């Protein structure tokens, strides 16, 4: 096997594993430290769509998900991380 190809493959694997760990860390952090759901108001259907759209426009995959964001926005960020991880696999 060509060493350059092996190195590139190794870097790609490390990148995917690193991103997976970031997704897992965000998920565990949010589950353990998320503000209680009762602190957030219930959203109607349009508001939920708006919050999800805001997350899509604002959040960059694999960056920190703030615990102060509404759980709907946090959920969309987690989905974005999983989608990005699937694209890199």
Give the total number of structural domains in the chain.
Answer: 1
Q: Is residue 84 part of a domain?
A: yes
Residues 29-55 have pLDDT tens digits of 555 555 566 789 999 999 999 999 999
41 in any annotated domain:
yes
The pLDDT score that the predictor gives to residue 8 is 46
The string of DSSP codes covering 75-89 is HHHHHHHHHHHHHH-
Range of the domain at 30: 13-88
Q: What is the pTM of this model?
A: 0.65
Select the more confidently predicted residue: 39 or 81: 81
- The answer to whether position 1 is within a domain reads no
In a domain, 40, yes or no: yes
Inside any domain, residue 21 = yes
Q: What is the 3-state secondary structure (H, E, C) of the chain?
A: CCHHHHHHHHHHHHHHHHHHHHHHHHHHHHHHHCCCHHHCCCCCHHHHHHHHHHHHHHCCCCCCCCCCCCHHHHHHHHHHHHHHHHHHC
Please give the mean pLDDT across all residues of the chain.
78
What local confidence, expressed as pLDDT, does residue 44 receive? Answer: 97
Name the most confidently modeled range: 14-18, 24-28, 29-33, 70-74: 70-74
């Amino acid at each position: 096997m060509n060493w350059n190809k092996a190195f590139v493959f190794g870097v790609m694997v490390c990148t995917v594993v690193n991103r997976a760990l970031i997704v897992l860390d965000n998920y565990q952090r949010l589950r353990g430290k998320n503000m209680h759901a009762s602190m957030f108001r219930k959203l109607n259907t349009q508001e939920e769509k708006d919050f999800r759209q805001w997350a899509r426009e604002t959040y960059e995959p694999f960056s920190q998900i703030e615990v102060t964001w509404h759980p709907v926005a946090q959920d969309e960020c987690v989905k974005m991380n999983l989608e990005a991880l699937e694209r890199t696999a």
